[in-house]
Amino acid sequence: MRALLVVNPAATTTSARTRDVLIHALASEMKLEVVTTEYRGHARDLGWQAAESDDVELVVALGGDGTVNEVVNGLLHQGPDPERRPRLAVVPGGSTNVFARALGLPNDAVEATGALLDALREGRERTVGLGFAAGTPGTDDESVPSRWFTFCAGLGFDAGVVGRVEQQRERGKRSTHALYVRQVMRQFLDEPNRRHGTITLERTGEDPVEDLVLSIICNTSPWSFLGNRPLYASPRASFDTGLDVLGLKKLSTPAVARYATQLLTSSPERGPQGKHALSLHDLSEFTLHSKVPLPLQMDGDHLGLRKSVTFTGVRRALRVIV
């Protein structure tokens, strides 16, 4: 088997020595080409090249969720074709690694490599659904490049938190769970629309849902992790169904305290709920419009400000080694 290993050298939880050990282990089982990313978007370019190649059968992403997202967008640059596109494998190297953990992989890079090699020997793989987001036709965002996401997206409050974390990382701060918690509090204090939301959710055949402050789109569950604690924003979300949405219409101090507590104590059976909470399951397509530009994030990557985004749940989009 010929495989491409895409290595993010800035992955927060793997050292150069650990990466060398992993590369040696993988190379002992396959014909392996190793490429280290050198710029933002490089992993996407490598995934694109692999998809265009006639002999690359597997792409292994060694890094965090951002690296995985880039590789996936490269592999699917001409759309999903699971039987013809190279398969994807993930070795977690980031701070959270939601996609890998949602697939049931160990969060340790060495253990995950062992699990990957076992899966390849035993032929274990699954075909997962993904999310797809594009600027809504007929709006100012129509020309914005479309993008795939593997586990979540968000328009509004949570994307603002992601943007703040990225700013702190650019200043040299490490990506830790404590950093995320601090930025959540700062985003809350600075959020101008927390009492009167600007987002409207529209879907065919249903009345629009207006005045959302926060909208989290989930392609799987859990939505994220706080340390080893899984957080279930949409417990029924699955790689085998469409997209789920958690929307909140109010972020007053009591509401935030209530929903934060529900999120921290959430489970596969129960997520945040209440009179100001909207929970939708297994949507194939919907659009989020905002009266003002709001931050957008996908798989923990801040993508700037948007006013209108159309989301599509695409089933059976990519084969993944598990």
pLDDT for 132: 98
pLDDT for 119: 97
Burial of 190: CB neighbours in 10 Å, binned 0-12, 13-18, 19+: exposed
pLDDT for 91: 96
pLDDT for 191: 74
Confidence at 102, pLDDT banded by 50, 70, 90:
very high
Short-list 304, 299, 308, 292, CA closest to 202? 308
The rounded distance, in Å, linking the Cα atoms of 57 and 6 is 14
What digits encode the pLDDT tens for the residues 219-276? 999 999 988 899 999 999 999 999 999 999 988 888 888 998 999 999 999 999 998 9
The rounded distance, in Å, linking the Cα atoms of 161 and 252 is 17
pLDDT for 162: 86
pLDDT for 172: 80
pLDDT for 157: 87
Q: What is the mean pLDDT of residues 289-299?
A: 96
What digits encode the pLDDT tens for the residues 39-53? 999 999 999 999 999
Question: What pTM value is reported for the model?
Answer: 0.93
What digits encode the pLDDT tens for the residues 175-225? 677 787 888 888 877 877 767 789 999 999 999 999 999 999 999 999 999
C-beta separation of 221 from 234 below 8 A: yes
Of 162 and 281, the one with more pLDDT: 281
DSSP label at residue 274: S
Q: pLDDT at residue 321 above 90?
A: yes
**Rounded mean pLDDT of the chain?**
93
pLDDT for 290: 97
What digits encode the pLDDT tens for the residues 140-172? 999 999 999 999 999 998 898 888 888 887 788
Q: Strand runs (DSSP E) across the chain, as ranges?
A: 2-7, 31-36, 58-63, 87-92, 125-135, 147-149, 152-156, 199-202, 209-212, 214-218, 224-226, 229-231, 243-248, 277-283, 285-298, 301-321
Sign of the torsion formed by the C-alpha atoms of 253, 259, 260 and 261: positive
